[in-house]
């Protein structure tokens, strides 16, 4: 699947970093992927791997020190990286929408939720107050808020966490976005509410032909809602494949580790399974494969040469093992094929 479908969003070789006093530090290192029309792409990866930074770059909402250092973000054929703030704010909430992790921080405590949703409608549509409120009411009904007409007059603190998240979704959907980015949309909620919200998003997606890019730690959720899955590691895409392929036949050693260590997929979890070792910090990033400090299969050249992201058996994968070069590469010194005792320090020294 893939090539023949229309891409709604195309991220190409995206480099993002943070300005520091004299230099800048790179975080996203050549991130490339697409979101096709009408699909749900889930992004997974350990904390700090750059998932939120990827979504914020797309939305044009990078923190102050953040900068796009290279690459393209194409939405409907236009490069968002070249747009100014005004153009981006017109797109946001209109064609492009985002739901953030913690609804309390994104809702304004001093206005009623109805007013806030109506405001969003009025920012993007030439409509009067009354019409904006009736659109808000319609959205509250759509997202399953009980007694919606009364809830419009509530302040955020008067609603439960699940209801606030529904308000956020109503707000994000008010202008019929073509792409909805949901960054951990349900982690703050309890499990039954999580399931309801995800089901809701899925229904709305089907009804409106919307594309969803969803970030979540929960592989159980991923296996249920994703059409395709993108795995990130230390600021890079390391694997991308359709749902079934990724779970049944993971190709990258990191993805294999993730999936092998899920005790039971359906089990309630809010963190990714544990793989030994830790993610290298941006300042101490290995020169070659960024996973080489933890990879049980690493060869000598993995430490110095960065593997390309390329197609392999219906997957896109970044690992030397899936290239012609693998056979000629030098085994990790003094270690047999199935494992090694090298420490992280050994590997970083290069
Ligand atoms: N304002 C900032 N200044 C400097 N570095 C930052 C800033 N924000 C994020 N980073 C760095 O960028 C990297 C990626 O952060 P990001 O928030 O995208 O991770 P994430 O994958 O969303 O993690 P999580 O799962 O914890 O939400 C992290 O290593 C972090 O240290
Ligand atoms: S390139 Fe080498 S170190 Fe990196 S994941 Fe593949 S085998 Fe492991
Ligand atoms: Mg994040």
For every residue of 242-262, DSSP letters joined together read EHHHHHHS--SHHHHHHHHT-
Q: pLDDT for 131-154, tens place per residue?
A: 999 999 999 998 889 999 999 999
Ligand nearest to the CA of 295: 2
- pLDDT at residue 93 in the model: 76
CA-to-CA separations, 134 to 117, 141, 168, in angstroms, rounded: 10, 11, 17
Q: Which residues line ligand 2 (CB under 6 A)?
A: 253, 289, 291-292, 295, 297-298, 302, 307, 319-321
* pLDDT exceeds 60 at position 342: no
Place of tokens 């968002």: 80
Span 76-82, average pLDDT: 94
- Look at ligand 1, atom 1, and give the residue with the nearest C-alpha: 63
Closest CA to 253 of 286, 300, 292: 292
Sign (positive or negative) of CA dihedral 128, 130, 135, 140: positive
Label residue 4 by pLDDT band (50, 70, 90): low
Split at pLDDT 50, 70, 90, the class of 211 is very high
Find the angle CA(222)-CA(225)-CA(231) to the nearest 5 degrees. Answer: 35
Whether ligand 1 lies within 6 angstroms of the CB of 102 is answered as no
pTM, 2 dp: 0.90
Calculate the alpha carbon distances from 130 to 6, 29, 175 in Å. Answer: 37, 47, 16
SS3 assignment, position 195: helix
- In the structure, what pLDDT confidence band is assigned to residue 106 with cuts at 50, 70 and 90? confident
Q: Is the predicted pLDDT of residue 105 greater than 80, yes or no? A: no
Q: Please give the pLDDT value at position 2.
A: 43
The pLDDT of 335-346, averaged and rounded, is 47
């Amino acid at each position: 699947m893939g090539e023949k479908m229309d891409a709604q969003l195309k991220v190409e070789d995206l480099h993002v970093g943070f300005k520091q006093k004299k230099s800048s530090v790179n975080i996203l290192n050549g991130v490339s992927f697409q979101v096709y029309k009408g699909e749900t792409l889930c992004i997974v990866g350990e904390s700090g791997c750059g998932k939120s930074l990827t979504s914020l770059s797309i939305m044009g909402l990078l923190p102050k020190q953040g900068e796009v250092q290279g690459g393209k973000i194409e939405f409907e054929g236009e490069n968002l990286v070249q747009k100014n703030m005004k153009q981006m704010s017109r797109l946001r909430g209109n064609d492009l929408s985002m739901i953030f992790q913690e609804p309390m921080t994104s809702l304004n405590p001093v206005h009623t939720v109805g007013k806030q949703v109506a405001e969003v409608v009025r920012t993007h549509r030439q409509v009067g107050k009354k019409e904006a409120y009736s659109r808000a009411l319609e959205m509250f009904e759509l997202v399953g808020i009980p007694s919606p007409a009364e809830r419009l007059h509530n302040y955020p603190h008067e609603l439960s966490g699940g209801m606030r998240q529904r308000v956020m979704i109503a707000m994000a959907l008010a202008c019929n976005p073509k792409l909805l980015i949901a960054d951990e949309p349900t982690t703050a909620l309890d499990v039954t509410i999580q399931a309801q919200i995800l089901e809701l998003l899925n229904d709305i997606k089907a009804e409106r032909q919307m594309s969803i890019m969803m970030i979540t730690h929960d592989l159980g959720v991923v296996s249920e809602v994703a059409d395709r899955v993108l795995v990130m590691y230390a600021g890079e895409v390391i694997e991308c494949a359709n749902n079934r392929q990724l779970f049944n036949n993971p190709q990258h050693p990191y993805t294999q580790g993730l999936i092998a260590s899920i005790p039971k997929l359906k089990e309630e979890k809010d963190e990714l399974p544990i793989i030994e070792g830790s993610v290298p910090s941006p300042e101490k990033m290995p020169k070659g494969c960024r996973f080489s400090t933890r990879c049980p299969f690493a060869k000598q050249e993995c430490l110095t040469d960065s593997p390309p992201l390329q197609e392999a058996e219906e997957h896109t994968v970044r690992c030397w093992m899936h290239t012609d070069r693998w056979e000629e590469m030098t085994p990790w010194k003094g270690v047999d094929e199935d494992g090694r005792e090298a420490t992280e320090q050994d590997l970083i020294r290069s």
